[in-house]
Amino acid sequence: MDAEIESVAVLGAGSMGHGIAEVAAIAGYDVVMRDIEEELVEDGYDQIEWSLGKLAEKGQLEEDPEDVLDRVSTTVDLEAAVADADLVIEAAPEDLEIKRDIFADVDAASGPETIMATNTSSLRVTDIAEATEHPEYVCGMHFFNPPVKMDLVEVASGEETDEGVVDAAVEFVESLDKTPIRVRKDVPQFVVNNVLTPLMGEAGFMLDEGDVEIQDVDAAMIFQRGYPMGPFELNDFGGLDIFTHSRDQWDLPVPDSIRSRVENDNLGRKTGKGFYDYEDGEGVNYE
Ligand code: 3HC
């Protein structure tokens, strides 16, 4: 197949969904962003507006933010969102059944050559694609948080993905001015999360054993290893519930220091507290 991508639908307006929609709009695509409730869609739209404002303020946006926003439309209607899309990017919660339901609906409501991409971070593309009649049109397109700031995108093939679909997905990622890597084997968590989640897990196990201080580990990885965030700060950033859920799905061990925080609803930045306390503007402090 030889696909030309002009219009994009993003399913999900959460931190990944709205970020992906924003990135596509910045690159000049018309984007429909859809979520299941009006309030979620509005929150996502507001986040895009905030982020574009920040980029403009720092001289990192070539266009007027309003012109970029004009390319983003919103809806709660899945069929309307995908009907005219050349590419659909799903960024729904990390749950196989939810994603399978969405892909079955997208397959039924979209055109015969629509590329259906999942932003899954921990599931297999093949398991999601099985819910459709056209698994050859399904691929992984895994962005990193926050999409507008992170350069890498993993483009993953399922067992039945057409090579032309992968080529088109890679070209699309390049058109966003991002760097794609092809993940040819359909392993859960692809490349980055396979390496990253054990790092965050190992830091948690060391904390369980009382061997380390949170700030010391993060500071070591930042100042000695050159990471932008240490493993605890990064886990707070992505959400400790997301980390725990992705490990549990594959029966991988989760440190008590992480699980207990999740049980107490201390999920990281989004709840104001995780390994660090973000309330009252405190946040991360390595001193
Ligand atoms: N849009 C616009 N501006 C944003 C923003 C966004 N989405 N997010 C943050 N900013 C702004 C902040 O508000 C702040 O603005 P201010 O200076 O006016 O207060 C500014 O950017 C932050 O700038 P900094 O100079 O402090 O930080 P950097 O820009 O250098 O880096 C970062 C910020 C890109 C988030 C960096 O800390 C980083 O790379 N962190 C690691 C992130 C990472 O590893 N993500 C991947 C996680 S794994 C994953 O996503 C997998 C998935 O499956 C879950």
Q: Give domain status of residue 97, yes or no.
A: yes
For 125, phi and psi rounded to 5 degrees? -60, -40
- The per-residue pLDDT for 71 is 98
Instruction: Report whether the peptide linkage leading into residue 146 is cis, meaning its omega lies within 30 degrees of zero.
Output: yes
Of 144, 135, 169, the closest CA to residue 8 belongs to 169
Q: Give domain status of residue 283, yes or no.
A: no
More confident residue, 187 or 116: 116
Number of structural domains (the chain) is 2
Q: Given ligand 1 and candidates 51, 95, 149, which is best to mutate, with the most ligand atoms within 8 Å of its CB? A: 149
Report the separation in Å between the CA atom of 58 and the middle of ligand 1, taken as the mean of its atom positions: 13
End-to-end Cα distance, the chain: 55
- The per-residue pLDDT for 2 is 56
- The per-residue pLDDT for 3 is 63
Q: Judge if 131 and 201 occupy the same domain.
A: no
Of 193, 190, 95, the closest CA to residue 141 belongs to 190
Q: Which residues contact 122 (CB under 8 A, 6 or more apart)?
A: 94, 188, 189, 193, 245, 246, 249, 250
Q: Judge if 163 and 259 occupy the same domain.
A: no
Residue 65, Ramachandran bin (φ over 0: left; ψ between -120 and 50: alpha; else beta): alpha
- The per-residue pLDDT for 286 is 73
Q: What is the pLDDT of residues 79-109, one digit of tens each?
A: 999 999 999 999 999 999 999 999 999 999 9
Q: What is the pLDDT of residues 234-286, one digit of tens each?
A: 999 999 999 999 999 999 999 999 999 999 999 999 999 999 999 877 677 77
Nearest CA to ligand 1 atom 18: 54
Q: Judge if 171 and 212 occupy the same domain.
A: no
30: CATH? 3.40.50.720
pLDDT exceeding 90 applies to what percent of the chain?
A: 93
- The per-residue pLDDT for 284 is 79
Report whether residue 238 contacts ligand 1, using a CB cutoff of 6 Å: yes
Q: Which residue, of 183, 211, 244, is where some domain finishes? A: 183
Q: Judge if 147 and 111 occupy the same domain.
A: yes
Full domain range(s) for residue 270: 193-275
Using the predicted structure, report yes or no on whether residue 1 has a pLDDT greater than 70: no
Question: What gap in Å lies between CA 89 and CA 67, rounded to an integer?
Answer: 22
Structure-token pair, residue 210: 């009382």
Nearest CA to ligand 1 atom 23: 149
ipTM above 0.90, yes or no: yes
Could you write out the DSSP letters of every residue in 104-125? HHHHHHS-TT-EEEE--SSS-H
β-strands 115-118, 87-90 pairing: parallel
Q: Give domain status of residue 258, yes or no.
A: yes
